[in-house]
Structure 1
Amino acid sequence: MRFLITALAFPIALITVLAGCSLEPNEDPEPEAEPSFCEQHGWTERPFNREGPYGEFRHSLAESFKVELHDGSEWKLRDHWSGCETVAIVTNRMRVSALDSSSTWESTEDLAALVAGSPRNAYYLFITASSSASAQAHQDDMQARIEEVLDDLDDEDRAWWEPRLLVVAEFVDDLDNWVERVLDDDAGTGFLIDRLQQIRLYGNFADVTRYDPALANADAWPWRANLAYVTHEVRASNFRSDRQDRLDAQQDVTIVTAWEQEVLQGNTDTEVVFPDAGVMGEFDTLEIDLTMDCPDPEQGESGHCGAWDYLSYIYLLEEGDAGEEDDTWMEMARFITTYHREGRYVVDATPMLVYLAQGGARTIRFDASSQSYLTTIDFRFRNADKGYAPSDATYLWGGRNFNEAYNTDREAITVDIPADASRVEVRALITGHGMADGNCAEFCNHQHEFTVGGETWLKDHPAIGNDTGCIDEIENGMTPNQGGTWWYGRGGWCPGQQVEPTIFDVTAAVEPGGSAEVSYRGLLGGNTPPPNSGNIRMSSWLVVYR
Structure 2
Amino acid sequence: MPIIVKRLDARYDWLSMRWDHRTYLLTDAGDGCEPSPSVEGALAWVSEGGCSFFTKVQSMTKSNASGVLVYTLPGNPIQDMNCVGDECDTTLAIPAAMVHLEVSVAQALQFGQPVFVSFQYTPSPNFFVSIDHQGLLAEMGWFIYPSFSFINWQAQWFDFYADLQTKLQSPAKIISVFDKVLMQGEKGAVATVDLPLALSHFDKLELDASLSCPGRRDSSCAHWDHTVQLFVCCDPLGPHCNMELGRWITAFRRGTGRWLTDVSPLIPLLDGNRCTLTMKTVWWAMPWIASLNLRLSVSNKTDYRVETLRPFRVMALYNGGTFDKNYNKRFKPTEVHIPASTKKVELYAIITAHGYDDNHCGEFCVTSHNFLINNVFNNTLIFDSAGSPLGCTLRVKEGAVPNEHGTWLYGRGGWCDGLQVDPWRTDITTQLNMSEFNSNTIVYFGLFEGKDPNPSQDPGYIIMSSLLVFYK
Fold shared by both chains (TM-score > 0.5): yes
Q: Does 1:367 align with 2:283?
A: no
Counterpart of 2:142?
204
Letter in 1 for 2:198: V
Q: 1:194-244: CA deviations, max 9, x gaps?
A: 2234432111122xxxxxxxxxxxxxxxxx322342111101000110111
Letter in 2 for 1:341: R
Counterpart of 2:311?
390
Counterpart of 2:394?
472
Unaligned runs of 5+ in 2: 1-6, 10-17, 20-74, 81-124, 302-307
Counterpart of 2:200?
281
1:536 maps to which of 432, 448, 462: 462
- Give yes or no for contact 1:293–1:373 (8 Å, CA) kept in 2: yes
Instruction: Report the Cα distance in structure 2 between the residues aligned to 1:108 and 1:235, rounded to whole angstroms.
Output: 30
The equivalences for 1:393-412 within 5 A come to: 393-412=314-333
Q: 1:86-128: CA deviations, max 9, x gaps?
A: xxxxxxxxx98999xxxxxxx997999xxxxxxxxxxxxxxxx
1:260 maps to which of 169, 176, 179: 179
Instruction: Report the Cα distance in structure 1 between the residues aligned to 2:157 and 2:270, rounded to whole angstroms.
Output: 33
2:248 maps to which of 335, 353, 365: 335
The residue matched to 1:518 in structure 2 has which SS?
strand
- Give yes or no for contact 1:423–1:545 (8 Å, CA) kept in 2: yes
Q: Which has the higher helix share?
A: 1
Instruction: Report the Cα distance in structure 1 between the residues aligned to 2:321 and 2:292, rounded to whole angstroms.
Output: 28
Instruction: Report the Cα distance in structure 2 between the residues aligned to 1:372 and 1:327, rounded to whole angstroms.
Output: 28
Counterpart of 2:337?
416
- Give yes or no for contact 2:368–2:381 (8 Å, CA) kept in 1: yes
Q: Does 1:517 align with 2:436?
A: no
The equivalences for 1:125-136 within 5 A come to: none
The residue matched to 2:345 in structure 1 has which SS?
strand
Q: Does 1:508 align with 2:401?
A: no
Counterpart of 2:225?
309
Counterpart of 1:193?
131
- Give yes or no for contact 1:310–1:337 (8 Å, CA) kept in 2: yes
Instruction: Report the Cα distance in structure 2 between the residues aligned to 1:488 and 1:290, rounded to whole angstroms.
Output: 24
The equivalences for 1:135-150 within 5 A come to: none
Give the total of aligned pairs.
344
Q: 1:394-439: CA deviations, max 9, x gaps?
A: 0000010011111124221122223432321111111111111211
Q: Does 1:272 align with 2:192?
A: yes
Counterpart of 1:353?
267
Instruction: Report the Cα distance in structure 2 between the residues aligned to 1:425 and 1:465, rounded to whole angstroms.
Output: 30
- Give yes or no for contact 1:111–1:227 (8 Å, CA) kept in 2: no
Counterpart of 1:242?
163
Instruction: Report the Cα distance in structure 2 between the residues aligned to 1:378 and 1:463, rounded to whole angstroms.
Output: 31
Counterpart of 1:38?
none
The equivalences for 1:86-235 within 5 A come to: 189-206=127-144, 224-235=145-156
Counterpart of 1:300?
217
2:294 maps to which of 358, 379, 382: 379
The residue matched to 2:153 in structure 1 has which SS?
helix
Instruction: Report the Cα distance in structure 2 between the residues aligned to 1:516 and 1:327, rounded to whole angstroms.
Output: 22
Letter in 2 for 1:205: F
Change (3 A) 1:254 1:503: same
Which shifted more, 471-480 or 328-337?
328-337
Change (3 A) 1:110 1:205: farther
Change (3 A) 1:354 1:366: same
Letter in 2 for 1:523: L
Instruction: Report the Cα distance in structure 2 between the residues aligned to 1:348 and 1:108, rounded to whole angstroms.
Output: 49
Change (3 A) 1:537 1:354: same
Instruction: Report the Cα distance in structure 1 between the residues aligned to 2:298 and 2:271, rounded to whole angstroms.
Output: 14
Instruction: Report the Cα distance in structure 1 between the residues aligned to 2:404 and 2:189, rounded to whole angstroms.
Output: 29
- Give yes or no for contact 1:470–1:478 (8 Å, CA) kept in 2: yes
Instruction: Report the Cα distance in structure 1 between the residues aligned to 2:240 and 2:157, rounded to whole angstroms.
Output: 40
Q: Does 1:441 align with 2:362?
A: yes
- Give yes or no for contact 1:283–1:382 (8 Å, CA) kept in 2: yes
Change (3 A) 1:300 1:521: same
Q: 1:16-41: CA deviations, max 9, x gaps?
A: xxxxxxxxxxxxxxxxxxxxxxxxxx
> TM-score, normalising length from structure 2?
0.68
Counterpart of 2:98?
none
Instruction: Report the Cα distance in structure 1 between the residues aligned to 2:279 and 2:466, rounded to whole angstroms.
Output: 19
Letter in 2 for 1:373: W
- Give yes or no for contact 2:174–2:295 (8 Å, CA) kept in 1: yes
- Give yes or no for contact 2:127–2:142 (8 Å, CA) kept in 1: no
Percent identity (aligned): 28
- Give yes or no for contact 1:292–1:344 (8 Å, CA) kept in 2: yes
Change (3 A) 1:108 1:377: farther
The residue matched to 1:365 in structure 2 has which SS?
strand
Once the two structures are TM-superposed, the CA of residue 368 in structure 1 deviates from its matched residue by: 4.2
Once the two structures are TM-superposed, the CA of residue 526 in structure 1 deviates from its matched residue by: 1.4
Instruction: Report the Cα distance in structure 1 between the residues aligned to 2:195 and 2:236, rounded to whole angstroms.
Output: 22
Change (3 A) 1:295 1:111: farther
Letter in 2 for 1:195: H
Letter in 2 for 1:348: D
- Give yes or no for contact 1:284–1:385 (8 Å, CA) kept in 2: no
Instruction: Report the Cα distance in structure 2 between the residues aligned to 1:318 and 1:368, rounded to whole angstroms.
Output: 21
Letter in 2 for 1:545: Y
Instruction: Report the Cα distance in structure 2 between the residues aligned to 1:110 and 1:237, rounded to whole angstroms.
Output: 30
The residue matched to 1:430 in structure 2 has which SS?
strand
Change (3 A) 1:321 1:232: closer
Instruction: Report the Cα distance in structure 2 between the residues aligned to 1:484 and 1:477, rounded to whole angstroms.
Output: 18
Q: 1:510-537: CA deviations, max 9, x gaps?
A: 2333343211111111111114431111
Letter in 2 for 1:349: V
Change (3 A) 1:111 1:465: closer
- Give yes or no for contact 2:234–2:270 (8 Å, CA) kept in 1: no
- Give yes or no for contact 2:370–2:446 (8 Å, CA) kept in 1: yes
Instruction: Report the Cα distance in structure 2 between the residues aligned to 1:109 and 1:432, rounded to whole angstroms.
Output: 40
- Give yes or no for contact 1:281–1:357 (8 Å, CA) kept in 2: no
The residue matched to 1:371 in structure 2 has which SS?
coil
Once the two structures are TM-superposed, the CA of residue 455 in structure 1 deviates from its matched residue by: 0.9
Once the two structures are TM-superposed, the CA of residue 258 in structure 1 deviates from its matched residue by: 1.0
> TM-score, normalising length from structure 1?
0.59
Unaligned runs of 5+ in 1: 1-94, 100-106, 113-186, 207-223
Once the two structures are TM-superposed, the CA of residue 264 in structure 1 deviates from its matched residue by: 2.1
* Structure whose alpha-carbon radius of gyration is higher: 1
Instruction: Report the Cα distance in structure 2 between the residues aligned to 1:545 and 1:109, rounded to whole angstroms.
Output: 61
Counterpart of 1:455?
377
